[in-house]
Amino acid sequence: MRRRCTWNIFQSIEYAGEQDQIKLYKFFSYLMDHFTPASSERNLISHIFHENETCHDVEWEQYFLYKSIDIPEGYSGPHLTFPLTFCGVSRLVEAFKHKQLLHARYVLQLLGETWKLLRFLPNIAYVSTVHAREITICGDLHGHLEDLLLIFYKNGLPSSERPYVFNGDFVDRGKNSLEILLILFGFLLVYPNDVHLNRGNHEDHMVNLRYGFNKEVLGKYRVHGQRILRLVQKIFSWLPLATVINHKVLVVHGGISDTTDLDTIYKVDRHKYVSVLKPPNKKPNGAKDGGRRRVRSLTYSGPKMGQRQDIPRRSLDNLPTNACNNRSVAAEVKRSQRERYRTYGYPDPEVTETEDKQLKQIVDILWSDPMSQNGCTPNEVRGGGCYWGPDVTEEVLARHKLHLLIRSHECKQEGYEFCHNHKVLTIFSASNYYDIGSNRGAYIRMGPDLVPHFNQYQASRTCRELTLRQSVGQTEKSALKALREQLFAHRSSLISAFQEFDINNTGLISLSQWAGATERVLKLGLPWRVLRPQLITSTWDTMVDYQKWIREFSITETRLDISDTSILEMMYKHHSNLETIFRIIDTDHSGLISYEEFRQTWKLLSSHLQLEISNKAISDLAQSIDFNKDGSIDINEFMEAFRLVDLSAHAQ
């Protein structure tokens, strides 16, 4: 029971964060479609959508130029020669094992060669196992280099005799995402017929803004980091979408839906979807090919020159309530595109039924999760993809004459898990994903009989030395700490919800009222009654002293002088969204933003959340955060300025 509750806490908080991420991206898409092109708000975020514009190969090749980058004599890291060989990539693995950094020249060269190869690979790789040869299938790695190294140690390096399928989510969360990419790309170049890389939902530039990959690359390569990121984003869009083994086993990152069709997936122009959270921009009818958008003046009035139309536009100050949240992403994008093109006299670039289907196919295989009930419903927990049931598995596998679906996308305590009558198998290869001891990693070995054999492991020596009781206790402690931070961030909402049951202001409510109100505010789907002993130090019979309980959550002393406590709570509640917006606005990747950019960040966030924050409150906050008074704000210092302390834990 303890392990199950701990697991539910970690997973619920993770999925809530993904849902917030998608909601924020929907909001950005709405701003792009409704704000005037010259508006300062739109300019702040417009560059992140340029990734989906058409850019021809000849223009991309300029990003791969590496010959002008000199390697200093004092460089002690690994050297690469091209074309790469098995020995060359093996030395790269060994160098990363010893925490060496590959020079930016070699990084760009390796990425360039990878891009050239990926453009010739199909959307679906059809591979086969032969007598005496097994194929190895790995799930999410999420920047955990120690897990990849352990897999290679136990199973052997990729080769023509030892083929591998890596099933997406190579990056984000962990500290060595780039090293994992470079190793996998290196082996792909040496063994293009024996190493297969499927795209995951984290191979997406917008997701990378929130979950750490962008920050990692820019921290390791301060001079050339922006170019490296730009190229990796392009490469992500060219990653294949699925692998089929012996025409019987389908391997995709997320899953399927009731509309999944491999023939459609095979024909999709996958490279158009640099971010699958937003459809690619469409050129107006009649626009010439050449890799550039046709730019029109704001005064352009359509086919009849000289007639200017008055176009209603919106700003952050009069954004309508729930304007973007009440529509689906696809419906809102389609409607706003038509409105904008009609306004400026463009022919209506209607999103065709085929294009809608293609986008849905990709989103479903990258974001979906299985469920125990029959049917297929939107995945509202993650915010993308769907939940599909055993009946959908049966139908899709039968229609394509398949026997088994292997997917990843979900962390499992044992590293793998069967469902849907053993016809769906989840494999997850990042051990200690949530915390040390939280889960094992695993990989699959499969021979010609297509029977999966599992290999489990723990990459952390510390965890291997713990007893089961110690491991469960440590993981439970981390999960409860994360949950208390969520409770603190929603403190005001919780108090209001509790007070609805406390008409006489006694400070006491029943246990069932406490559990119901807490779930209604946090929406995490947790068994609050079961968690009560770990969250509440004392109760009076069946009553909860919620006022005392709320007081037990506090923060450490901070150098910030903030009079508006609502901003403080908002910062805790939405710190991930804040950091995402900060990093979008920090276009030069210096880690610093100006007071005005800081103000615009808060205006964007408050509009997204439909909250009112005065300019004075934002200005006061900016001045208190600018510790050295140089007129700019250090993003990392700002994000590290707050630490939660559980006073009840200190009192025990």
The CA–CA distances, whole Å, from 494 to 475, 485, 539 equal 26, 13, 18
- Give residue-wise pLDDT tens across range 523-547: 888 999 888 888 887 656 678 889 8
pLDDT of residue 68: 83
Which residues make beta-bridge pairs with 126? 244
More confident residue, 505 or 315: 505
The catalytic position among 103, 142, 196, 202 is 202
Average pLDDT over residues 380-402: 94
More confident residue, 568 or 297: 568
Please report, to the nearest 10 degrees, the dihedral formed by the alpha carbons of residues 636, 568, 600, 628 taken in order: -50
How sure is the predictor about 472, in pLDDT bands with cuts at 50, 70 and 90?
low
Average pLDDT over residues 573-591: 74
State the SS3 of 552-611. CEEECCCCCCCCCHHHHHHHHHCHHHHHHHHHHHCCCCCCEEEHHHHHHHHHHHHHHHCC
Report which of 14, 4, 11, 48 is spatially closest to residue 29, judged by C-alpha positions. Answer: 48
Residues sharing a CB contact under 8 Å with residue 617, sequence separation 6 or more, in sequence order: 563, 564, 567
- Give the burial class of 228: count Cβ atoms within 10 A of its Cβ; 0-12 exposed, 13-18 middle, 19 or more buried: buried
CA pair distance 455, 544, nearest whole angstrom: 46
Average pLDDT over residues 420-426: 98
State the SS3 of 424-444. EEEEECCCCCCCCCCCCEEEE
Q: Is 202 tagged catalytic? A: yes
Helical packing angle, 528-535 and 511-522, nearest 10°: 100
The CA–CA distances, whole Å, from 332 to 33, 329, 509 equal 9, 5, 43
CA pair distance 408, 169, nearest whole angstrom: 9
Structure token digits, residue 438? 């939280």
- Give the burial class of 451: count Cβ atoms within 10 A of its Cβ; 0-12 exposed, 13-18 middle, 19 or more buried: exposed
- The answer to whether the beta carbons of residues 641 and 625 sit under 8 Å apart is yes
pLDDT above 90 covers what percent of the chain? 45
- Give residue-wise pLDDT tens across range 206-249: 899 889 899 999 999 988 998 999 899 999 999 999 999 999 99
50 pLDDT more than 50: yes
| CB count in 10 Å sphere of residue 144 | 25
pLDDT of residue 36: 54
pLDDT of residue 541: 67
Which residues make beta-bridge pairs with 164? 136, 195
Average pLDDT over residues 316-342: 47
User: In 3-state terms, what secondary structure has residue 138?
Assistant: strand
Average pLDDT over residues 295-300: 26
User: In 3-state terms, what secondary structure has residue 174?
Assistant: coil
Highest mean pLDDT among 50-59, 344-353, 356-365, 480-489: 356-365
Q: Quick one: CA dihedral 473, 478, 484, 490, positive or negative? A: negative
H/E stretch holding 154: helix 145-155
- Give residue-wise pLDDT tens across range 123-169: 999 999 887 689 999 999 999 999 999 999 999 999 999 999 999 99
The CA–CA distances, whole Å, from 441 to 20, 416, 445 equal 27, 8, 14
Say if pTM beats, i.e. exceeds, 0.75: yes
- The answer to whether the beta carbons of residues 564 and 620 sit under 8 Å apart is yes
More confident residue, 642 or 145: 145
297 pLDDT more than 70: no
